Structure 1
Amino acid sequence: MNIRYIYLFVLALGFFACDEDDNILPEEVILPELTAGSADFSNYVAVGASFTAGFTDGGLFKASQENSFPNILSKEFTKAGGGTFTQPLMSDNTGGILVGGDVARGYRLTFNSAIPGPQPLDAFLTGLGAPVPPITTEAGISIGSDFNNFGIPGAKSWHLVAPGYAGLNPYYARIASAPTATVLADAMAQNPTFFTLSEIGGNDVLGYATSGGDGSNLITPSAGAPGVGFDETFNTLVTTLTSGGAKGAVTNVPYITDLPHFTRVPHNPLDPTNPDFGPQIPTLNGIFGQLNLVYAALNAPERSIVFSTTETSAVVIRDETLTDISTDITFILNNSPTFPAFVQSFGLPPQAAPLVANLLGTTYGQTRQATENDLFVLPSSAIIGTVNADNVQALVLQGLPLELAGQFSAEGISLPLADKWVLLPSEQLEIKTATDAYNVTIAAVASSNDNIALVDLNAILTEVSSMGINFDGFNLTADLVTGGAVGLDGIHLTARGYALMANKFLEAIDSAFGSNFIESGNIAKANDYPTNYSPTLQ
């Protein structure tokens, strides 16, 4: 009997125990028998990116793959005629991968309450004085393509149909049938009778987002050049996968900026009680006070920088959407009769005034303090407040004393945070606009094809990020470390999050194809899947 009906049965016993006739028992509730409906699960193939692979905590490893949502689905499919589901398992649980003996991706993240914040496994173990296991999975040794899971971490939509992608992605290099093969062709070679196509389009915006929209990783256009545009690629994927009569389930794209990788770091982390920051506030405000007068003269008072001595302050960022007033700043300072005396307050000769004026101009010509509308990528938490050694060296070469160069090189304080650490509102809008366009295409393809079920991953993760989702009595939220749904990298799901995702697939499959996984109780259970992996798992 399903456990929830056992619970109802016990409650009913208590009720009827009060009746005069002790022989009256409630009618036993029997779950319906599982049916596959019109779907054929005999050969299930999963195609996608990181979520499909089971990537979590910043890495791909054996245990995470075993808890991938496709593997969880395959266990339920087996009960409805599904066959063996084989995955290209990594060689260890370090989360890393080698290319030619060199580390292409390092150790997975781990967490222990004794040490603040997630840490790479090797750093965590070294801090404990424990041995660090070697990374053993080698991408250069092909293990073939005879698998059911073609989840390729890092793959954008068009990468799945690009010949030669194995040369660019070590995860695909392990399993590609040939150097010029495509992920889609290798998946089709398995002759799927049922497939999942998940998070296609996610990496098309994620690369742009994790790089702070700095231009190093562009968003895939909806309608782009042949073989590159999202719309054409997604249509090709679905048309090809259903060409042999297979049915499948596809997801749309979530709003990735709702995930903790982009929401965990506050815009105002500078604490005046911090002994490394607080004592410097008067000096900093003195320096920026001079600059703020220039901003006022240029009718740009909104760019003023002030650090509070009583409350946390916002970091200083570079905002490329602002008009560059570097030349104006330099000109005004050089023509200020009081500026040489200000320069002397730093212990510099008056003759250094042009040098300092140029420094202030070039550094703060496109800057402001952050607001709550700005988002910061998770790695920025380890950067804010640190001294940028490269900037120190550059300033010393310009003629500044080493100590003064260091004072002007504190990330997010005296040195504006670079574009790669910040998602400006305009960049966030670009991501949302692209995501919405992808999802329009995905919805249109799904609604026009009776062989496709649509999983609204966008709505699911929006709910997780806002109020949380109940899963077997657990409220899964997007809170980093403690939320239970999102792993330590702030982007990918935990094993329990993937189990929830698998159940959402089953709901959509039941609705589209007449199966009854949910009604018959053939679903993943929250308690069977962890939210964090132990550092002893190696």
Structure 2
Amino acid sequence: MKKLYALLPFLGLFLIACEDDTVVETPEPTPVEYTSGTADFSNYVAIGNSLTAGYSDNALFEAGQEASFPNMLAANFALAGGGSFEIPFMADNLGGMTLGGTPISGNRLILAFLPSGAAPTPVAGQGSTEVSNKLAGPFNNMGVPGAKSYELLADGYGSVAGVAMGTANPYFARFSSSESASVITDAAAQGASFFSLWAGNNDILLYATGGGTGVDQTGNINPATYSRNDITDPNVFANALNLMLQAMTANGAGGVIANLPNVTDIPYFTTVPHNPIPLDAATAEFLNSMSAYGAYNAGLAQLQGLGLISAEELAKRTISFSAGEGNAVVIIDEDLTDLTGFNPALINMRQATADDLMVLTSRSFIGTLADPNNPASVNGVGVPLGDQWVLTPEEQAAVETALTAYNQTIAALAASYDLAFVDANTLLNDLKNGGFPQADGSVVTATFATGGGFSLDGVHPSPRGYAILANAFVAAINAKYGSNLPGVNPLDYTGLYIN
């Protein structure tokens, strides 16, 4: 009984606590009221190339189009008066296209796990997107993969008949308003209240991804004479961009424009090392002998002894291998002085250095046999790699010069037309050097396949990478127009498609 009495005070406190225990309701947070500021998002039109279309993993496909940065922007705009955003969807998630039933482009890439290791591989199946099956527009996403700046202005660029002749673009041919239409006339005809313009990447990118095999057309203002892999003259680029902005702002539309990233920062040029060749001692000794590169080196030394080439030229062109890892590949370098007039065997070749950028597609064959019946025909060793597989320092300089001129034009036109401006060049550099930390503790980087920022083609962003771009556009729009759009969460989008 004494023990019971001893418990009564605590029991009383418990009952009092129960009587005073009331449910405290947490008030609902005040809903954010999003505003467009001085912008009008009611009719948004996006103009550009593959980066605007949502191209990734070496193809355009439905899921990628849904994850395009303009579609993300449109979802944000809808919070502040934005209207519908129509996309010219591909017919499936494979990505391949046909023209008259004949395949003209391949499917998207996936990371396949093969006995030899993981490798980007086209997804199986036949794409059901037939170019001649015209879609009824208009469409708000006017991103056209492959288009150069001046091509966005070209009449007939969406002609189905022109696709087979190489004068038109198959992606635009699917949804152009007519056989004679241009991308910019179809875009301007929609009377946009707001637009985004990101164009010019292909004016230097195709030269770079082709290993510099094109021509730097600076000084040539006639694009009709250009080849696909040429660098566009900066004046041609500036005129094209100005004409597009004139057309899009004619009715007072607001907009946002982005500059161009340095293409040499993308995984396409930063993944394959210049020195991936392992050799045993016997093979290295043979390669250095007079039966292999020793004779080539001796010919160079002879010319240097005669004063026909400098000691610096001799050192640059001398080829030497050693046992172990880290042997540099042998490349053809068209920028070297032609010595074949002195000795036909002294072709323009040298070993790559850390200043050379090997293109991503070279990783599939470096170290393999060019001739299965000839064990000495190792690509990158016994067989030099062609110029298309490497971007040399001289070619990188041409890219850098054009990029600088283009970006000066974009910044000037953004100010002249009073548009929001996105510094995509700095953004990509940040993605390469450090990356973007996320709420879950992960970091999105530009590392090929694992970084989450780029797709498997090494050129185009992944959906997560496009989300980071979309946030950069949102930030620029908010700063310019006084809107308070929230942006998107990159973690809501995949960094790598696994099927």
- 1:197-219 deviation line (CA, Å, top 9, x unaligned): 12x11000011011111126100
Alpha-carbon distance in 2 for matches of 1:105, 1:471: 35
Aligned length: 444
1:418 is displaced (CA, Å) by 0.8
Alpha-carbon distance in 1 for matches of 2:193, 2:467: 22
- RMSD between superposed Cα atoms in Å: 2.2
Amino acid at match of 2:273: P
**Contact 2:46–2:195 (CA under 8 A) maintained in structure 1:** yes
Alignment of 1:230-249 (within 5 A): 230-249=237-256
- Is 2:270 aligned against 1:263? yes
Amino acid at match of 2:283: Q
1:26 is displaced (CA, Å) by 11
1:194 is displaced (CA, Å) by 0.7
Alpha-carbon distance in 1 for matches of 2:396, 2:408: 18
Q: TM-score, normalised on structure 1?
A: 0.79
Listed as ranges, the gaps of 5+ residues in structure 2 are 1-21, 163-167, 215-226, 305-313
Alpha-carbon distance in 2 for matches of 1:490, 1:280: 33
**Which of 323, 334, 341 is residue 320 of structure 1 equivalent to?**
334
Percent of paired sites with the same residue: 44
**Contact 1:295–1:301 (CA under 8 A) maintained in structure 2:** no
Match of 2:287 in 1: 284
Match of 1:501 in 2: 469
Alpha-carbon distance in 2 for matches of 1:153, 1:251: 17
1:313 is displaced (CA, Å) by 0.3
Match of 1:443 in 2: 411
**Contact 1:144–1:174 (CA under 8 A) maintained in structure 2:** no
Alpha-carbon distance in 2 for matches of 1:417, 1:121: 25
**Contact 2:436–2:444 (CA under 8 A) maintained in structure 1:** yes
2:279 is paired with a residue whose SS is coil
**Contact 1:118–1:488 (CA under 8 A) maintained in structure 2:** no
Match of 1:384 in 2: 366
Match of 1:129 in 2: none
**Contact 2:148–2:200 (CA under 8 A) maintained in structure 1:** yes
Amino acid at match of 1:515: S
1:271 is displaced (CA, Å) by 1.4
Q: TM-score, normalised on structure 2?
A: 0.85
Match of 1:454 in 2: 421
**Contact 1:384–1:411 (CA under 8 A) maintained in structure 2:** yes
Alpha-carbon distance in 1 for matches of 2:30, 2:406: 43
Alignment of 1:309-348 (within 5 A): 309-330=323-344
1:95 is displaced (CA, Å) by 1.8
1:187 is paired with a residue whose SS is helix
Alpha-carbon distance in 2 for matches of 1:368, 1:442: 38
Listed as ranges, the gaps of 5+ residues in structure 1 are 1-21, 123-131, 224-228, 331-360, 393-402
1:120 is displaced (CA, Å) by 2.5
Amino acid at match of 1:460: L
- Change in Cα spacing, 1:133 to 1:320, as seen in structure 2 (3 Å) is closer
Alpha-carbon distance in 2 for matches of 1:302, 1:48: 42
1:407 is displaced (CA, Å) by 5.3
**Which of 211, 216, 221 is residue 233 of structure 2 equivalent to?**
221
Match of 1:420 in 2: 388
Amino acid at match of 1:94: L
- Change in Cα spacing, 1:409 to 1:149, as seen in structure 2 (3 Å) is same
Alpha-carbon distance in 2 for matches of 1:86, 1:279: 63
Alpha-carbon distance in 2 for matches of 1:88, 1:28: 40
- Is 2:222 aligned against 1:208? no
- Change in Cα spacing, 1:112 to 1:387, as seen in structure 2 (3 Å) is closer
- 1:494-522 deviation line (CA, Å, top 9, x unaligned): 101111111111100000001011xxxx2
- 1:346-389 deviation line (CA, Å, top 9, x unaligned): xxxxxxxxxxxxxxx1xx42111000000111111113223335
**Which of 119, 139, 142 is residue 131 of structure 2 equivalent to?**
139
2:324 is paired with a residue whose SS is coil
**Contact 1:259–1:490 (CA under 8 A) maintained in structure 2:** yes
